[in-house]
Each structure stands twice: as structure tokens, then as C-alpha cells.
Structure 1
């Protein structure tokens, strides 16, 4: 059965609001919730960037059954992997086993703040590989010493380790990342409905003797609003950065950079890639692309803090019913 999720978008809402939305999303019937992990919003108009881990701890306490993901954390620059392992283990205990650690190779927007420069994608992927290996060691609860190419760990042990450990989902986009992370991660994260990537992930796992059919978690932005014109305007104001694609989005360092890079993106360009307005069928058709590409889980991003309560109160339940009827 396909699972449908809700995105706690830290770039567009404050921490208290995000916790409230998490509770409302669970009550509306979403199966899981994913949280971005940003130090900065994409565009200044979004206006927020609370700490994801603090917020998720509150969400774990405020919700009962909904699954939780980081989507995604970069455990290589802004955070040392030993620190992420401790955060993830603690959150898993607070969530009673509902948490999956989603990791990725990061974006310059968030990682440059610690002043370490911005490595090439190949180097970032190699750093992430080593970070996952370190976190796996720490999740055992054993004493860990590590001296690798990128990281050192000196006599570290997690004293509070969740029963059953922590699942890891890795964000991938191409052949090299699939080759590296398919044997290391439990689940796949991808933000484009690319069937070729999904199939190669399953094949790479089977080739190493691991189960091939694991969870494939995608994400799709929408901008629901009874007024389509208002929805298009909000999507353009706050989500036009999405038009750049991840090859560009990973490398720009500031909100000013994203504003400059997207200055010629028109509202109609944004609306062509993001379902805008009250039409639930348009959202279903967008999600169908992920389902057809082999995704088992699709998280929706409702664009903008404004209107979030109305979306959860008026649109979420009928949308979920339609999604489950047609794609579930």
C-alpha cells in the first residue's frame, strides 16, 4: 500500500507552528511526516529556519502514531556524524521507534555556515559514506574509535540506544550515489519520479544479497488554495527556487543567490511544475508519477505558512481519501 506523508517545512514556518501542524496532520490521517533540516530558508520571503532536531523532539512527544523522518540531514559538515548519531538515537527513543534517519550530501546553503568550504559532489558523497559507517557503529552501543579519510571518532559511545536501532534512508540522484548508498542504507529517498534510479537501487541491493524491495520515499510540492491565482502567487513567491533543479540548488550559498538565480522565473513557470489551486485531481495526477516510478511513500509539501491551517482543516482529508482510492 502506498503511504502518504506531510512535510514539516522548516524554511517556511516557526517551530511552534510546525509542532501544531504535525499534530493536525496526524489527525487528518497522514501516514508519516518528514522534516527538512535547514540553517537558512531558500528565499528570504520564506522567513524561517528553526532547528529541526529540537522541533522533531517536540513532535515526537506531541504525536502518537505517525512516522517521522529527517528529509534530509547532512551528517558531514554542519554536524559531525557522531553528533547526528546521538540525536537520531535520542529521537528514536522519544518517538517509540517511529523515526527514520534520512541523510543526504547536503546543500551549500546550509553547510557553508561553518566555514569549511564546499566540496565537490563526489567528495561529499564519499564523506556521507564514511558518516553512515560511523553512525552504524555507534548505533550498536559499543565503544567506537575511528580514524578515516574525513572523520575521527575518539572513544565514543552512545549511552541511550533505542531497541531495534535506527533505520537510515539515503537521498540519491544518479548512478554513483546509487552504487555507494544502496548497500549502506535501509531505504531510498529521491525527489524526482525517476523509475530508472529506483530500479537501479533495487538491483544494486539484490546484487549484494540485501532485500531489494525497500521503501522508496519521494516528495512533491503542492500549493492548495480555493483561489488558484492566490496559490500561483504564493508558490512563485516562496517556491520558485524549485525550478533550478538539484544540480543548481545544492551549490548556491545564500538566499540572495537564489533570488538572483530565479529572478526571471515567471509565476506561470512555477505553476507548470507545482499543482496550484483547489483541483485535487491535479495533485493526484502529480503523485501518480511517483507511484508509477515505484515509490512506496510520497510526502506532500503544502507551500507557504499562510493557508497551512486551512489546507489541513479543509483539503487534507478529502485529498488523502482521493489518493488512497486511486493510488493506494
Structure 2
């Protein structure tokens, strides 16, 4: 049975709103939380970008749900040794109910300190070294590491959970997905791609958990839901490597002008019809995900949580 969670969008909501949504999600019957980690929103209309580790601390005091970062980049903007400490503290705060979801990142967030944005193959190499280093530090040893990309000198994390923090790897192509299968404790995606999930399972992932995130725009009128989805998240439809290589929110806003409303209508479940939402979400279930995290785009959270609690979640289960 698929476990249904709620997706907290740090790009769109401030920390107090995210905590409030998490509490409402728990009351509505959602079982888990995903929370995104960004320095910038994708574009200015989204309008937020709180520091995810502060939000996670607040979530640990507000709900009893497990939390996964979806996803943190531990390679450029923040050194993996610091991510190791942050993840260990989050796991302690959450009583072990924390998963560190990591990925190779986007220039949008990672270019801010003036570092060169590496080629995709190098980004994956950096991610693999970062994960190895985080795992070493989570054992509680004093670590000195002299790697290809990272240096650590006599560092030890003292505040550790009872069990090592699970590390799930995101992947949107075969190379990253194969890496996730080889080094990850699980796999994160945002597309209902059966082929990629099969690649993960057949190249070493086996029965490790597969998480997926999906956005919907519940509204009392379909056109209102569509307008919200298109205005706020049409960036999800940008092709190729644009999401990884565009450096500024303004660049995403310019690129989004090429996406029409009809494309957004095909990509998102919008409006009030439960059948439309269920049909959209079922794609992820059919693709083989174990945990599905749903984000409400539009402002009508009352309608979203009421409808999902009464009609969508029971039907999905």
C-alpha cells in the first residue's frame, strides 16, 4: 500500500505557513512530510525561501510525522560536513523520524557563493563523495577526510541519533538513478516514470523505498486552479537541463513565458473534481512508488484538506 504524505514547498510559503500546513496535513490523515530546500525560489511569484533546517526544527515540535528533505544539495552551497551535523540534529529532534534526501542540485541555489557550476558527471561524483563523508561522520568517529572535492580535519559530530540517518538520493535520469540504487537507502523523484523506478530497482535498489512528489491545485473552480498552477509552477514543465543550469529566478520567469496554459492543464490536477485528482495521482501509484507526497499549490487550503481527507486519501488507499 502506498503511504501518502504532504509536500511542503519552501519556495512558495514562509516557515510559519509551512508549520501550519504540516499540522493540518497530519489532522487530515497524511502520514509523512516532504520539505524542499532552496536558497532562491524558482521565480519571484513563488516569493519565499526559508532556511529548511530552521523549519525542520519547528516541525519537530509541531507534528509527529516523519520528515524528508526533498532534496538537499550537500555539495556546493553547504559543505557536506555541515549537512551531516544538520541532519543528525534533525534526526534527534524528530526522534529518528528523519530521512536526508539529497541530490546534485541546481545552479539556481548553488551558484550564490561564486563557485563554478560543474558538469553533470562531476556533480554526481561530488554527490557520491559527499554521501560517503556524511555517513562516516554519522558513525560518531573523529573524521579527517582528504578527498577529490572535500577536506575535513579532525571533525566529530557529538549530537547523533540512535540509528544512522537514512540517505535517499534523487534522480531524474538513468545515471543519477543508478547512483541512487548503488549508494542510497532510497530514491526520490517527481515524475511517474516506471522505467526509471525499474532502473532503480534492477541496478541495486531492490525493495528500498521510492518516494515521489506531485503538485496539485485544488480550487472550487477549475480555471482558478489552473491559473494558480500555471502562474506559480509552470517552471516544472521546462525541458532538458534548464532546471539545473539557469542561475536566477528571473531566468526561470523568462523561460516560463514559453509554457502555455494548456500545457499546465495537462501537467497538473486542477479544480475540484476528485476523479481528476485521483487519475493524476494514480499515475504515481502505477509507476511503483512507495511514498507519494502531495503539494497543494493554490490558496484554498481548507477546500484541499477537506476534500483530500474525505475523498482522495481513502480512495488512494
Q: If the TM-score is normalised by the length of the shorter chain, which range does it land in?
A: over 0.9
How does 1:1-328 map onto structure 2 within 5 Å? 1-64=1-64, 66-205=65-204, 212-245=206-239, 247-304=241-298, 306-324=299-317
**Corresponding residue SS for 2:219:** coil
| 1:246 Cα deviation from its structure 2 partner | 5.9
Once the two structures are superposed, what CA deviation does each residue of 1:163-202 show, in whole Å capped at 9, x if it has no partner? Answer: 0110010001222223323221100111111112111212
**Corresponding residue SS for 1:114:** coil
TM-score, normalization: structure 2?
0.97
Once the two structures are superposed, what CA deviation does each residue of 1:239-295 show, in whole Å capped at 9, x if it has no partner? Answer: 111110462211111111011111132222211110110011112112211111111
* Deviates most, 87-96 or 285-294: 285-294
Indicate if the aligned counterparts of 2:69 and 2:101 stay in contact, CA closer than 8 A: yes
TM-score, normalization: structure 1?
0.93
**Corresponding residue SS for 2:152:** strand
| 1:93 Cα deviation from its structure 2 partner | 0.6
Change (3 A) 1:241 1:224: same
Indicate if the aligned counterparts of 1:19 and 1:58 stay in contact, CA closer than 8 A: yes
| 1:96 Cα deviation from its structure 2 partner | 0.6
Change (3 A) 1:317 1:88: farther
Change (3 A) 1:317 1:59: farther
Once the two structures are superposed, what CA deviation does each residue of 1:59-80 show, in whole Å capped at 9, x if it has no partner? Answer: 011112x111000000001110
Change (3 A) 1:111 1:141: same
Indicate if the aligned counterparts of 1:129 and 1:181 stay in contact, CA closer than 8 A: no
Change (3 A) 1:27 1:167: same
Identify unmatched segments of 5+ residues in structure 2.
none
